[in-house]
Structure 1
């Protein structure tokens, strides 16, 4: 009788856990799945906490309900698989605003991540340089080209559209800047249209027309009880062995598979921390799925597949802080929140009115939860502030943006996410494709998955983990289904 497969998943975020569930569903019965998480907590950037006696998200807040083709997203499919579909809730307020010239203005409609398909609709926020978006008799983008979003939009519609619309929207998702982020990676639908259309406005309209959308249907959802319930259910139903506080230090090829060196997290100088009685151990696996950020992945790949390590090792990340305030009966507008262009000179780059946006979080005592995001790629000095100073600055800037003094918070929480958000410069997808091609050619039982490679958002991470799991199943000999 053949020995059961042994699969090691390095990284206990939602990517790794989704991969574990897929392996449990599709791999032969008896497959041994082990998840190694170097911290003491599963879920990565999914973390539900408590503030002022109620639940609140300290990380990712929601997920897209549909994929680009109009089908249910990977997140929704996983929620259904785990029996949590009855917990899906939708925003009760969807309108957001931009801080422009110190005041709030509604985010204009008809844009694609801030790039307008109707110039008249954005005139109250930005003055497009419409004359520059002329038909020059050829598509905006060549068949294999990639450009920075900011470079394309500035050339076609001018600086204000980038600075006041595109940059804050991309910054809210990636904590990055439009002038640095890849069009192909961050706005793939627009990139596809730009390979055909001759004007940017035409490309936006074509991309919007190609996207299936049901008028009035919700775009985002979350789970009553918090997104940590998704993490817990995935960990439990995967049937995987979960090893917390288990850092995988080294990955070596063996004649029959892989050898992992697992032990306590190393100190900054590379030495092991002084923990008496805790020594590194080695474990054997038939296949390994790396669901960790690019730099730790590159370190683990350095000996086994140096070309893949080099391809992903240069990928960079932004650090952010999320400051959540519990405010007694504040005067808040009927908005889900607002975005802040960097040109406004504020520390905060976005704010969410949790108890306004999500009806299931509203409290009978009138306490409101407001969360602000701080930190932009390349300008993260604000994150050097103490928690007290961050809270004070956020409170002051929220009051300024809203045009009214906010009451003092009765509770607060500061969540710092170091190296949390991947940055995708032009050519990103090509570098990742190169890394994966090297892996497949050298060691098909070694797979790479996660936000650092395939994009941000829970649905993308879920699909990335599931795809990597399927690759491993194929490499080991096929599924049980």
Structure 2
């Protein structure tokens, strides 16, 4: 009997989930090869030792109200590892001072003037209050940037001080680089349904308060999940070797360095996808071209215990501030399991779309910047007892206006290519739950083809 062979290109969370699902659905007899150009698995998830224990230096949490990650954790027997935040609120640094994160906003877009009172000036508040009286033009057949929509209705201060800090945390982007339909789909739906004003649309799109935590994490970091996925999938791993030479081989595919396979899941960023399929599937390459990416860096610091950080989960930074960092995660305040250590943990984040130069500064310079920025916003000057710098080059795709149309074109082009599936954060969500869903969908489609 001929052994079926499949390849997964990309060893991030999406690729590892795809390999796991392929093993589940095709059984122990299937030969699965996982090809990763880098020297480690996990992609944009990474857990490192810092300050006496594991700390995530990529994504640190997942949206607990989506089921994909929680269900996967339970499936892999890791439920005892689940932890939740302490419930503290974040702050925003704007105009040289700290402000509470505005309430009743949608990705920072206010539903009332009161939502952002104190964060923006009185003239802007008056403009928001009067916005329902200004005729709204919204084209249900097109898309626009978040900046264009919010700026035209509420003004520049709302974009820079409330919206940009939230979008920067999700996409490492700015309101100009992100489209409304992909980033704030419930808002677009309310506008499509005929909301008379932006404030009315935001109010209609706000989620109904639900019990339970919004976010979750793993006590031992995401590395625990990555290891469990690898052990369950049992792939042959080829790391440090970029995939290339993808071409048809009979009713299967040829892929260097793997050889002939019956099917392939491409779980790589859009630019690598375009390069891989340029000759074998030019329509797919054309559909996936043009998706821009943002680079960022995380500086994780362990300060002496007792460092007087604010009693908040983090600090987001408005754009246009005389501060290099775009955000601080006050990890030891945010997560109870990290508060038990003999150090005070935090992370400073750098890099926005179009500003990648800071990411390539030497480690010592980035650590010095993080310390200086932390002193500005908190007054703390303590010498770190431990530090770690993690760079994420081209780490986050920008969901520009029209992104959902591009995704539809990518998925349609991929559907026309037998035995090849695509998955990743550039499709329908950059969060870990969306990546888990994407890897699962791609693996299920390929397994059906291979098994048939």
TM-score under structure 1 length normalisation: 0.89
| Aligned counterparts of 2:349 and 2:185: Cα–Cα separation in 1 | 25
2:420 equivalent to 1:446: yes
- Runs of 4+ aligned structure 1 residues displaced above 6 Å come to none
Q: Secondary structure at the residue paired with 1:59? A: coil
Match of 1:256? 251
| Aligned counterparts of 1:178 and 1:364: Cα–Cα separation in 2 | 37
Q: Is the 8 A contact 1:93 1:334 kept in 2?
A: no
2:170 equivalent to 1:173: yes
2:283 equivalent to 1:287: no
2:373 equivalent to 1:374: no
2:77 equivalent to 1:83: yes
Match of 1:266? none
TM-superposed CA distance for 1:370, in Å, is 1.4
More helix by share: 2
Choose which of 78, 85, 91 in structure 2 pairs with 1:97. Answer: 91
| Aligned counterparts of 1:111 and 1:200: Cα–Cα separation in 2 | 12
Q: Is the 8 A contact 2:145 2:179 kept in 1?
A: yes
| Aligned counterparts of 2:196 and 2:448: Cα–Cα separation in 1 | 42
TM-superposed CA distance for 1:32, in Å, is 2.3
| Aligned counterparts of 2:150 and 2:438: Cα–Cα separation in 1 | 29
Q: Secondary structure at the residue paired with 1:134? A: helix
TM-score under structure 2 length normalisation: 0.94
Match of 1:394? 370
TM-superposed CA distance for 1:135, in Å, is 5.7
Q: Is the 8 A contact 2:178 2:398 kept in 1?
A: yes
Match of 1:274? none
Match of 1:300? 276
TM-superposed CA distance for 1:245, in Å, is 2.2
Q: Secondary structure at the residue paired with 2:132? A: coil
Of 335-344 and 20-29, the range deviating more from structure 2? 20-29
**Cα distance change, pair 256–55 in 1 and its aligned pair in 2 (3 A):** same
**Cα distance change, pair 28–323 in 1 and its aligned pair in 2 (3 A):** closer
| Aligned counterparts of 2:133 and 2:229: Cα–Cα separation in 1 | 50
| Aligned counterparts of 2:3 and 2:196: Cα–Cα separation in 1 | 56
Structure 1: state its 5+ residue gaps: 263-281
Match of 1:353? 330
Match of 1:457? 431
| Map 1:182-261 → 2, pairs under 5 A | 182-196=179-193, 197-208=195-206, 211-215=207-211, 217-261=212-256
**Cα distance change, pair 312–53 in 1 and its aligned pair in 2 (3 A):** same
Structure 2: state its 5+ residue gaps: none
Choose which of 94, 107, 118 in structure 2 pairs with 1:113. Answer: 107
Of 50-59 and 147-156, the range deviating more from structure 2? 50-59
